[in-house]
Structure 1
Amino acid sequence: MKGSFQDALKSLEPLEQPITPPLEIIVALEKIPDLARSDMLRAYGKLILSECLFQALMELPMEFRKEWLLMLNEKNNV
């Protein structure tokens, strides 16, 4: 074996995930037509905690984003 124990441990460290700035999330939410302020705030609260959710939102066509966010809000409020 060429590596040391410390090198082996480094390979187990989690990779750094890119973090979307909160302002970018707000801008993306503001672009969604007819999204109520309360729905925007609920969605913002979820999206700042999960990079995966924000990336999923950004992959959706614009016409699906509002409905998806509302479904996400309903799912977590039940």
Structure 2
Amino acid sequence: RTLRESGIRHHWATLRTHLSGQVRVTTSMVNDKGQVIHIRHTSEPEPVHVKIYNALGLPVRPLRRLTVIE
């Protein structure tokens, strides 16, 4: 499917600007055992993100939460 077929007629620069609002975030902390814990997750998609992803047949949450303990 294409964006145009779904009624989305923005320029690529506009699409990139819209999609830049959804990010991957890493939170790091040290637990009581002295281990460093990194938690990585994707921000909640805004309605504009959902519309674009659905038009392209992509999952709204493409990456799962990741926890790493060092």
Q: What is the TM-score when the length of structure 1 is the normalising length?
A: 0.25
Q: Answer with 1 or 2: which has the greater Rg.
A: 1
Report which structure shows greater RCO (CA 8 Å, sep ≥6). Answer: 2
TM-score by length of 2: 0.27
